[in-house]
A and B are shown apart, each in its own frame.
Chain A
Amino acid sequence: MKISIQARMLGVMLLGLHLIVFFAGFFAPYETSLQNRDLPFAPPAHIHFLDIQGKIHPRPLVCVLVERSDAFAEYFEDRGHCFPVRFLVRGAPYKLFGLMRSNVHLFGVDAPATIFLMGTDAYGRDVFSRFLYGGQISLFAGLIATVLTLVLGALLGTLAGYYGGWLDAGIMRGAELFLALPWLYFLIAVRAFLPLSLSPKDAFVMLIAVIGFVGWARPARLIRAVVLSSREHHYVLAARLFGASDMYLMRRHILPDTYSILLTQAVLLIPQYVLAEVTLSFLGLGAGEPTPSWGSMLSTLQQYSVLVSYWWMLIPGLVLVPVFFGYVLLASELQSGRKTAAS
């Protein structure tokens, strides 16, 4: 399959975002649970290149925020009290991939000053850091759930298409059942039958299992259709004549025919599943506080006062738009690529 340049570029951009989120520990200046109780709802930091005398600084400056004494959560910058942003600083320890210990962060600023690129939330926690760590749950739950769905779908679809008969009938009836279920209702209902408060790790696994398990039907049907036709290819019949086992035929000759469908399905499913995670967490059914996820970060916006006054709390939701746009474009590129390849 030929992949166009646009599709490649989109892929690289999406990959970049995922890498940043994956290495959240390095890119995030603070820990997700670090509270600054004296700085609730601080606005996104202003980065200055001029100090108060008008001198140009090659290193950007961040000034200390001081809360106004007459109003809640309103701040002014103490321009006489600025600190340079430092790069590759040592700070709070974290683990890369959950095993490599490190304490080097991409950027940071010296003690009295703070650098909140996306402001802070009600507890004065850095929204940017929480956003990156939250992406680990939201994006990767979507990714892993997609893999789970596709593995399930490919397995059941191949079995149904290859063996036919009662196995085919049974699996396809099941698929119709799952296709007919009201998607979000079912997702929530399945979630309902699991314990409500879970440790973050359990919640992550649970989210993946629930989301990934619900959607296997559509890929299974598509895969079955491909397998049905590819089973009849002459080279498959020839291989069977030479005594190839069923397992060998499926692995070597039939599954490769389904790769392009699987890829397109993956690109279509990932944004849906990311959104499913965000929705479940928004409704309070995903990973709970203090673990950040994009959905649970957005759920604070259900308080009207937060929604009206602090726009930066919306960032985890706004980010979904370009991410989804990337995926949708990628999917249409892949689909048109497949069409031209077929013709």
Chain B
Amino acid sequence: MRFLVHRLLHSIFLLVGISLLSFAFLELAPGNFFDEMRLNPQISHDTLVHLEKQYGLDHSFAERYLAWVRSAVKGDWGVSFAYGSPVAPLIWTRARNTLLLTGLAMLLSWMIALPVGLLGAAERGRWLDNFFSLGTSLLLVTPDLLLALGLLWLALRTHWFPAGGMQSLSSSSAHADKLKDVAFHLMAPVAILVLGGLPVLVRHIRAAAIDALQQPCIRAARSHGISRVRILFRHGLPLAAAPLVSLFGFSLASLLSASLLVEVVMSWPGLGPLLLEAILARDVYLVIGAVMLAALFLAGGMLITDCLLFAADPRIRTEKLA
């Protein structure tokens, strides 16, 4: 219990730190959202002063931070200048799309990486392992950007799958059709995310499994004549649980932030393009909101990892209580 409270406090400290850091950068930034209006002769100076007052830009750093914290606690997360509405609902509709994309990608990559990594460890040094290693090395050195552009090129050339967006303009409003349409549009971005995330995942799983398979208890199991498949899944996998849980937590934590580039290239209406727009328009509270949500996922992911580790590995429990 003390361990969990400690971790929770740690996460809160992290979030406060990140929000303060973001605000500090905001403070250092020259100019604000209304700079562009200043160039417009049709907007009077008084209007601008009034607008800045309305959005509280004339207050001091501490006052603005406190106002933002109050608004965040209320569930608004500040006000977007460009949209003129609270940030939270804006971000949430976009974050849902991102989560759909990355959640599916994460599920798929784990489903592929787990057997590949375990097999690689079991067949260590043989041709299958070498083949997998070559594949992961090639994927590792291919930047996501290039993968995205490559798949986009394929989509445009072959028309096997749509080249961008989330829905076709012509899609009917029937529920089943809509679902099929979205699934069709998901193919390319999910493929990019899976291919991009796979090498790191496979390598870590393989390394963890190799470590586990070298334990004396595995040798004992082998000498008892237990089959290789059973050893691998029944005995090896639980031994490798701790690093795998950490890895899983890391995947969870990066759910919101991993797909920014892919979303931009494939024009997926997720959090990434929104963030980019907000940056170009200097819509600072929207930027902070997006960063905070991503940070929230990171902190949450780490917290879940710690809890899972706590549950999975008795060694951690005794260590912390001692």
Contacts and interface: CB of A to CB of B under 8 A. Distances in A.
B153 A307 contact: yes
A180 B295 contact: yes
Interface in B270-322: 275-276, 278-280, 282, 284, 287-288, 290-291, 294-295, 297-299, 302
A324 B143 contact: yes
A193 B33 CA distance: 11
Contacts of B246: none
A190 B25 CA distance: 7
A193 B149 contact: no
A184 B298 CA distance: 13
A194 B29 contact: yes
A196 B143 CA distance: 25
A182 B146 contact: no
B75 interface: no
A195 B30 contact: yes
B44 interface: no
Contacts of A114: none
Contacts, number: 116
Given A195-B30, A302-B265, A318 B18 contact: no
Nearest to A193: B29
B143 A180 contact: no
Interface stretch (B181-189, B223-231, B255-263): B255-263
A307 B150 CA distance: 9
A173 to B, nearest CB: 8
Contact of B257 (A184, A194, A325): A184
Contacts of A325: 137, 141
A304 interface: yes
B-side binding surface: helix, strand, loop or mixed?
helix
Contacts of B145: 275, 278-279, 282, 298, 317
A184 to B, nearest CB: 5
A181 interface: yes
Contacts of B143: 275, 278, 317, 320-321, 324
A182 B257 contact: yes
Nearest to A282: B145
A335 to B, nearest CB: 13
Contacts of A176: 14
A188 B275 CA distance: 9
B218 interface: no
Contact of A279 (B153, B261, B279): B261
B26 interface: yes
A301 B146 CA distance: 11
- Categorize the interface residue count of chain B: 35 or more
Interface in A178-202: 180-186, 188-196
Contacts of B280: 196, 284
Contacts of A192: 29, 278-279, 282, 284, 287
B31 A195 contact: yes
B279 A308 contact: no
B77 to A, nearest CB: 15
A254 interface: no
A63 to B, nearest CB: 29
A225 interface: no
Interface in B2-57: 13-14, 17-18, 21-22, 25-26, 28-31
A283 interface: yes
B209 interface: no
Nearest to A174: B17
A89 interface: no
A314 interface: yes
A302 B267 CA distance: 10
Nearest to B14: A180
Contact of A193 (B14, B28, B290): B28
A189 B156 CA distance: 32
A193 B18 contact: no
Given A196-B280, A308-B157, A321-B146, A184 B261 contact: yes
B163 interface: yes
Contacts of B25: 189-190, 193
Interface string B113-151: 000000000000000000000000100111101100100
A191 B279 contact: yes
A283 B294 CA distance: 19
B254 interface: yes
B29 A317 contact: no
Contact of A180 (B18, B29, B265): B18
B194 to A, nearest CB: 18
Nearest to B259: A184
A333 to B, nearest CB: 13
A241 interface: no
Contacts of B152: 304, 307
A182 B137 contact: no
A189 B14 contact: no
A282 B143 CA distance: 13
A279 B147 CA distance: 13
Contacts of A271: 141
Interface string A140-181: 000000000000000000000000000000000100110011
Interface of B: 13-14, 17-18, 21-22, 25-26, 28-31, 137, 140-143, 145-146, 149, 152-153, 156-157, 163, 254, 256-257, 260-261, 264-265, 275-276, 278-280, 282, 284, 287-288, 290-291, 294-295, 297-299, 302
14 contacts: A180-B298, A183-B257, A188-B276, A278-B145, A279-B261, A282-B261, A283-B264, A298-B149, A304-B152, A304-B156, A308-B153, A308-B157, A314-B146, A320-B146
